[in-house]
Structure 1
Amino acid sequence: MEKPVVTVVIPTYQRPALLRNCLEALANQQLPTDQFEVLVVDDGNEPAVAQASQDVARQTGLSIRYLGQTQRRGPAAARNAGWRSARTPYIAFTDDDCLPQPGWLSTAMAQFSRGAQVITGRVRMPMPEQPTHHDKTTALLETAEFVTANLFCRRSVLEQVDGFDERFDIAWREDSDLHFKILQARIPILVCPEAVIVHPLRQAPWYATLRDERKNRYDALLYKKHPALFRERIPAYKWLVVRYYATVLAFFIGLLALVTDNSPLTIACFYLWLLLTLALMSERLADQRLNWATVKPALLTSLMTPFLSVYWRLYGAFSYRVWYL
């Protein structure tokens, strides 16, 4: 029996059914199962997740180790715990809601044998017939330059750059920070589109886009750490951000004008606020069937998104003491 040469690290949190699908996909790899091990890092330390790992190991013969975190610390900390506990020279990262395709590991290992140090693969996200605004936003992962859902590194590289920054304690920008540290260390990154994982889109609640606005605080941390690379490689969406600030300012200036009995300014500000809100709503309804089921969430999220976006941007700027708006 050969000694494993690569460890697949999978952070997970309260999703045993999705994890099971991911592990079963790994059982179908073209790379012989005695050449890799799987390390499940459970950020929720749940018996159901441990049981799912044990069940798949027993049913498929995969070498699966389970590591339960004593407290929830986010995927960056989970990945660090995973690769630091690995016993192999190569590390593969994917997520519990992803399905590595059969040639995923064998393709990457062939590149490592040719001297690669860091490899990024391709993410496929099949879209529904009527994608929501959240679906379209999530599907941007397909075109991302560097994602931990499909990443391979020599362990020595992770040691050199000290892995993931655990201050990124939700699934946002921790991969970009690692990417930038690798670039700054002048370590080459190989793009390997043949190493494919499928990332199915899952149905999200209507408020998912509102919840996601909190991610803006971590953009401030990434900007503080890597200002030049942030400006060069992270989409700014400047026009959209300007509209958000204009929407919020128009609303609050309109309130102030209302309190001070300045009718012309009140009308002008609230008209601008309404116009900007309706424009955002129209964009979110693009390519969707118009009915109450689609109009209601578009209206609610269009009303609230500018305020939440501005709040979290300012929160991040103050928290990390950086001029980021």
Structure 2
Amino acid sequence: MSADPFSEIIRLTKAQTVVSAVFSMGGPWSVRFPAFDYIKFFAVVKGVCWFTAEGEQEPLRVEAGDVVLFSQCRPFVVASDPALPPVEAASLLTGGFSGIARFGEGEDHVQIGGKIRLDPHAGALLADMLPPWIHARASSPQAPVLQWLLDQIVREREGELPGAGVASAQLAQLMFVQLLRAHMAQSQPDALPAGWLRALGDPRIAPALRLMHGDPARAWQLEELAHAVAMSRTTFATRFKAAAGVPPLTYLHNWRMRLAEQGLREGTTSLLALGLSLGYTSESAFSNAFKRSVGVSPKRYRDAAKAEAKSLPEASLSPA
């Protein structure tokens, strides 16, 4: 059985994309955004602007149809002219609004701002694969899909239609997926950090990844995975480690542990049943493997997760 590792990891990390605002600017303008503990993105619907991240000397020109995803927790400035002194974004959003926020005279520039929150426990699985920023240009092969999504988000927000918040969030989630696809398509394989994203971008390795994700409980052998992708055992092992950063069976073990963590945090399945579902023959075998990997027993991990869930309020997705 084959699977879609990309979708599984997006679900496991609970990536939630939210449109914070649609901005319409006129005349000269410059806005400074503070560092956030989540991933930010902005998309230019109309006009041209400059993106400058703190610590970077050269500003990035962003044109209509471009989308920029910024994954680092650093302040950044978006401006019509990078030489202009910026105003703080918080001062522009005082009082709240719906639909489109308008600043200045005219409508020279329209952009969508948003954020992607990841699960605090599993989010690193995705966040660690991202570069400081992704710039999907309007000239890229993925541009028509991104442009359609942008247009739909603006229509939802501008029309203040029933369910606009839900609809724009779903559209933004699709845009995030498309941005990751664009990043994979535009990057040279060796330029991506070793990990699952790079492995999925390797057409010779990706089928083996899909097999392991499709049946993580199976006692996969290196020989059968190599045979499935028509490679020798040695060549497959070398190429897989270069792409994924770890040997194939280590990757399988690590993925089982991520699934185990999710099951312990969110489910009520017994330790025996959870272990069996992940390919372990007994509760003790599962517990020993989990403790070696995570550092605590499954029972202690589950108890800690329950205590944390009771003490922390649900993460806010309010605009910012």
Q: TM over 0.5, yes or no?
A: no
TM-score by length of structure 2 reads: 0.34
> Higher strand proportion, which one?
2
Choose between structure 1 and 2: higher helix proportion: 1
